[in-house]
């Protein structure tokens, strides 16, 4: 169960980091329609969305790292 949780966290972390990259490099009008922040014809970049997505991605990687450490036996 622990390995499954680690792999899910890693996969979600990668997805959030890709989303963060897209928010940093793409204007709001050019984002895919399923991403929050899409606005037709807008030229602004959603920096708050990008930073939030980056922080969530890093937190997921940290969670996966701490969960993958070997258990200490008594």
Q: Over the chain (74 residues), what is each successive 10-residue block's mean pLDDT?
A: 90 96 91 85 89 97 90 71
Residue 32 lies in a domain: yes
Evaluate whether residue 54 is within a structural domain: yes
Number of domains in the chain: 1
Supply the pLDDT for residue 51.
Answer: 96
61 domain residue, yes or no:
yes
User: What's the confidence (pLDDT) of residue 2?
Assistant: 85
| Integer Cα distance of 68 and 54 in angstroms | 21
Q: What pLDDT score does 21 carry?
A: 95
Please write down the long-range contacts of 27-33, taking CB distance under 8 Å and 24 or more positions apart. none
pLDDT at 12: 97
74 part of a folded domain: no
Residue span of the structural domain in which 57 resides: 2-67
- Model pTM score: 0.85
């Amino acid at each position: 169960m622990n390995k499954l949780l680690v792999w899910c966290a890693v996969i979600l972390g990668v997805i959030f980091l890709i989303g963060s990259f897209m928010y940093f490099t793409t204007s709001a009008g050019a984002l895919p329609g399923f991403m929050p922040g899409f606005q037709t014809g807008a030229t602004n970049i959603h920096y708050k969305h990008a930073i939030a997505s980056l922080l969530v991605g890093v937190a997921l990687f940290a969670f996966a790292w701490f969960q993958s450490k070997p258990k200490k036996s008594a």
